[in-house]
Structure 1
């Protein structure tokens, strides 16, 4: 490679280089519509996965509570109608184990509901804090319109 060609390549590279800091990101028209913020937002925040999971956990908790509520009266009638049969004890044991399992599922879904909702809120708050700190950073040679 000749010296002149090397100098030309360096000059071309220098013309392409910008003095501003640039972040690697998708172009505005390819951004996700569920990520929050407008099309020209600098920071996109998405709590959607956490709040969606929290909502599902709450729905499961509610459904499990309903199942437990329905299980109890249904088993009372069965126990009364099967007195004296050998299966009565087995039915009672089965009902007891299912109540324990459903109660554990209900309680875990309730715990997850709160934890996932809190996590989504936390991530949203952290994103806002990071944006606030990043807005405070001043870079040399920043044009007046970008400040």
Structure 2
């Protein structure tokens, strides 16, 4: 069996070590982080992303509130000026955008935490299901 030229660029000839591997892998084929031969999962990035979304949600709401307070009294002080209506329109538009960001980040925060939880549970289930599987090590290869 032979691969097309493009596949050979990516994977190398049959029987050789692949030219392509996971970016997180080091130490050759089958070696995960640190070259241990084990693929590792961490819920850290999902939890961190959830925290960032939560912080952005809080910041968007704070900004919307500050923006509203900054415009208090403008209508009364600028009565009769055409710019007051334009300013109110801009305020309304930005308040709507910031509400949308806040609401989307709120949803995203929960969704990312759910992924972190599910991935952790999946990892535990997979680890448990593989406990009885013998994985050959270098000593087995020498026999």
TM-score by length of 1: 0.65
Return the alpha-carbon distance in structure 1 between the equivalents of residues 73 and 122 of structure 2: 54
Q: How does 1:1-147 map to 2 (within 5 A)?
A: 24-26=30-32, 30=34, 44-137=40-133
Q: Do 1:43 and 1:131's aligned partners in 2 also have CA atoms closer than 8 Å?
A: no
Q: Do 2:50 and 2:109's aligned partners in 1 also have CA atoms closer than 8 Å?
A: yes
Unaligned runs of 5+ in 1: 1-22, 32-39, 140-147
TM-score by length of 2: 0.66
Unaligned runs of 5+ in 2: 1-28, 136-143
Question: Quick check: which has more Rg, 1 or 2?
Answer: 1
Q: Greater relative contact order: 1 or 2 (C-alpha under 8 angstroms, separation 6 or more)?
A: 1
Return the alpha-carbon distance in structure 2 between the equivalents of residues 92 and 109 of structure 1: 26
